Amino acid sequence: MRNIFRLGLLASVLVLTGCGDLDQPNNEQVVGGEIVVNVDALSVKDSLIEAGAIPADYPGDVYGYKAYKVPYTTTDEEGNAVSVSGLMVIPTGLPDVVYDTLGLSLVSDSHGTIFADREAPSVIASTDNLPDGSALIISSLGGFVTLQADYIGFGDSKEHYHPFILKKSLANATVDFIKAAQVFASNNSINLNGQLFLTGYSEGGYAALATLKKIEIEGDTGLTVTLAAPMAGPYAVEALALSVLSAETLSVPSFMANVGYAYGLAHNEDIESIVNAPYASELETLFNGDFNRTQIDPELTHVTTGDNGLFVQEFVTSVFADTNYWFRKAARDNDVHTWAPQTTVRLVHCQGDEVIPFDIALLAEGTMNVYGAADVEIIPVEAALGLPVLVGHADCGSLAYKVTTNVFAGIRQATIGY
């Protein structure tokens, strides 16, 4: 979820509005994209300190933040070409040997669940001309190139419905952006070293594992992943859907409503057969990219099913009664944990997660290992950081990114030397 970064790091972004050290984004000539943010290292560090994100005596390096909006083309659920966009963030201020000789490592960071187009990575950057979100951790603190696809349905493809928790479209958008970013780097003399890490939180965690599966199973993407660290993703879609639909109430109705809406559109099912009136007729507007979650949830009921519920009773009954019912089968087909990755995978998850329970990570780890995975393990965030209390889904995000960035940095140090 996008608001996880507002808990600490976004405060630092707001401080930057008062800085006098912002470069003019249009000063640089760019091939195949446009520069939308350019903040020097000192400004980033001062802002992080002022926001309390890092201490004044922070011993680590802090790098500048240069972000480009990169347009590219991908393929949707229906097999149609779609013009989309993404954000590519380059750390500045590293030693010259990194840019000239060692090269920069890529982190594909699939963003979490959003509903409003204004929350998409390239839209935030283009609108505010300011750093935002997880790329501050990955690029400005970690020294990695961060790639954030907007996904189909946001950014340059705002008029298209967002294929929420649909593995093919999410993986397509991510793989195609990685390849577009590699071309962009080559055309703009950005030296990459060949390392590629995959991560993402919540829906982004799901997208990251779906992306790894596409790269490994299809084998023709031309990409090799160094390590994947999905975070708090709903990898077991069928199991989660059954759990949510069996509950009397929905804690966040917009999430499951979006699943029903996207799956209905992708499978040519009548939305009125999935979602009760009056909500069914409102979903196209609620999910058109103009509204965020806090605006959508009050327009929906928290009751799961029945006459006053969100979902049609016959739909829910069929989901539980027939394993081959279209939605049950579609959910199962979109599971991303029933295979054997040969790339090292670290499932980063908070044990206190109440939205995507820790049990989902346990299920994914166990299932992939049974299938014959090479190296899949869970990293509990609380244990990794020595936290005395369990942490919920919203608060876990920035902590999970810290853990994941440290994992990536350790591998880069051991293999590249910085």
Mean pLDDT calculated for residue range 174-193: 98
pLDDT computed for residue 27 by the predictor: 60
Same domain, yes or no: 266 and 387: no
pLDDT computed for residue 42 by the predictor: 96
pLDDT computed for residue 399 by the predictor: 97
pLDDT computed for residue 133 by the predictor: 87
Same domain, yes or no: 17 and 96: yes
Among residues 302, 333, 364, the one where a domain terminates is 333
Domain holding 89, by residue range, is: 2-236+339-415
CATH code where residue 10 lies: 3.40.50.1820
Total tally of structural domains belonging to the chain? 2
Helix, coil or strand: residue 235: coil
pLDDT at 192 over 70: yes
Among residues 278, 313, 333, the one where a domain terminates is 333
pLDDT computed for residue 335 by the predictor: 99
> Rounded CA gap, 65 and 139, in Å?
7
pLDDT computed for residue 2 by the predictor: 38
Which residues pair with residue 252 across a beta bridge?
A: none
Task: For residue 128, report the phi and psi dihedrals to the nearest 5 degrees.
Answer: -100, -20
pLDDT computed for residue 10 by the predictor: 39
Could you give the C-alpha distances from 35 to 3, 85, 90, 363, 364, in angstroms and in order?
A: 24, 13, 11, 42, 39
pLDDT category at 89 given cuts 50, 70, 90 is: very high
Torsion of CA 386, 392, 397, 403, to 10 degrees: 20
> Rounded CA gap, 66 and 187, in Å?
16
Among residues 333, 349, 367, the one where a domain terminates is 333
Using one digit for the tens of pLDDT, what is the confidence trace for 211-235? 999 999 999 999 999 999 999 999 9
Same domain, yes or no: 7 and 140: yes
pLDDT computed for residue 344 by the predictor: 99
Could you give the C-alpha distances from 81 to 142, 160, 183, 265, 338, in angstroms and in order?
A: 34, 11, 19, 17, 28
pLDDT at 12 over 60: no
Same domain, yes or no: 184 and 71: yes
Same domain, yes or no: 56 and 135: yes
Look up residue 259 and give its two tokens: 């699943």
Using one digit for the tens of pLDDT, what is the confidence trace for 326-342? 999 999 999 999 999 99
Same domain, yes or no: 186 and 48: yes
Mean pLDDT calculated for residue range 409-414: 98
Same domain, yes or no: 245 and 360: no
pLDDT at 15 over 50: no
Using one digit for the tens of pLDDT, what is the confidence trace for 369-404? 999 999 999 999 999 999 999 999 999 999 999 999
Same domain, yes or no: 204 and 277: no
Same domain, yes or no: 120 and 22: yes
